[in-house]
Homo-oligomer: A and B are copies of this chain.
Amino acid sequence: MTPTPPPLRVGMIGYAFMGVAHSHAWRTAPRFFDLPLTPELTVLAGRDPAALSAAADRLGWAGTETDWHRVLERTDVDLVDICTPGDTHAEIAIAALEAGKHVLCEKPLANSVAEAEAMAAAAERAAASGVRAMVGFTYRRVPAVTLARKLVADGRLGTIRHVRAQYLQDWIADPAAPMSWRLQKDKAGSGALGDIGAHIVDLTQFITGQRLTGVSALLETFVKKRPLPASTGTLGGVAGEGMGEVTVDDAAVFLGRFTEGALATFEATRFALGRKNAIRIEVNGSAGSLAFDFEDMNVLHFYDGADPAETAGFRRIVVTEPEHPYVGAWWPAGHGLGYEHGFTHQVVDLVAALAAGEQPTPSFADGLQVQRVLDAVERSAADRSTWTPIEGES
C-alpha cells in the first residue's frame, strides 16, 4: 500500500468566484491525480466573520482567519492562495513570500507594472530559498490549449505567421447593468483589458512560445456612467444611489507582433452581445494552423499542411483521449471536461513543481511580462495608437 504523501497546507484569501474555483481544485485534484503532496484546506481568510464561516463550511476549509496577516503568521500553512481583487495582490503576495510561504496568485498579477515588478523581485528573492510563486493563468491548462502549445513546440506549425485572439463577453452590453468594483480603475486596475485581455495575451504567448514585442492599441468605454447598486458594500466609497462613473475600458483592441515576426490582432470586450465567454485563438504557421474557441472547450482544430490537398482540412480533435494532456486521469474518450478542470490541473502542476523543487509556471516574471504588455496597450491607446514596444522585449 502506498503511503500517503506529505501534506501541502493551504491558506486561501478571498472566497468569491475565484475562491470557489480554487477550493474545488484543491479538494478534487488528489481524487483524480497521483500527487506527490496532499493538499489540505487548512484556513480560509476574509473580513466578514459570518460570511467567512459559511464559506469555509461550504467550500471545505478547516479553519478561518478574518485578517489575512494571520494566515501568513501561521506555522501550519505552507502555501498562500490569493483570490482577492488585483489591488491587494502585491501587498499580500510579497508579505507571504517574505514569510516563507509558497504563493499562488490569481491573475492579473497586479494592477500596475510597478506592483508587478515588486512582486517578481520578491518571487526571485524567495526562490533562492526554495519558496515558489506562481500566477494563475488557468486557461493554459484546458487540455485543448495545452495540446495546442505542444503541437507548436513539436514544430507542427512551422514558422508562425499570424495570431488572432479574441476574448468576447457581453455581461455589461446593457447600459442598465449596474456599477461594480470591476468597473473602477482604483480597484480593478483596468477593465476588459486586464480582466480578460490578460488571458489572451498569456495564452497566445504560451501557445506560440514567443512574446509580444510591441503593440498598437485602441481602448473604449462605451457606457461612461452606470446606475449604482442599492448597497454600497461591494463598491467601497461609491454612493449607493444615482449614477457612478465607469473609469475603466469596456473594450480593448490591439495589434501586436511576436518575437519571430508574426502579426497579431487582439480584442477583449464585454460588449459582444451573444458571446458569453468566447476565448477564440487562431494561429497560422508555415506548416500548420490551429483554432480554439472556449465555447467548445474540449475541441482543438488543427490543419496539417502536410496532408495532401485531396483530404486536407481542419481536423476537429476532440481532446478527450488518454494521449491528450491531463485527460487520462478523468473519464473515457468523448466524456468532456468543464471550466473548473483547468483549476484542478493548475493544482496538479503546482504541486508537482513544489515537490520537485522546481519553478512552477507561469512565474511572477511571466505575470510581470503580461502586465508590461497591458501597460504598453494603455500607453499606445493614449498616444494615437502609436506603436509601443514592450519593455524588456527586443
Contact = CB atoms under 8 A, between A and B. Distances in A.
Interface of A: 1-2, 4, 17, 21, 23-24, 27-28, 30-31, 50, 53-54, 57-60, 147, 151, 156, 161-162, 164, 166, 168-171, 173-175, 216-218, 220, 222, 251, 253-255, 257, 261, 263-265, 267, 269, 271-278, 284-289, 294-299, 301-305, 307-318, 320-324, 330-341, 384-387
A240 to B, nearest CB: 23
Contact of A276 (B301, B334, B337): B334
B316 A313 contact: yes
Contact of A273 (B28, B261, B288, B298): B288
Given A302-B313, A332-B171, A272 B162 contact: yes
A197 to B, nearest CB: 13
Interface centre among A57, A297, A313 (most CB of B within 10 A): A313
Nearest to A277: B334
Copy tally for this chain in the complex stands at: 4
Contacts of A337: 338-339
A303 B162 contact: no
Contact of A60 (B1, B31, B218, B331): B31
A255 B218 CA distance: 8
Contact of A222 (B60, B161, B275, B294): B161
Contact of A315 (B217, B313, B338): B313
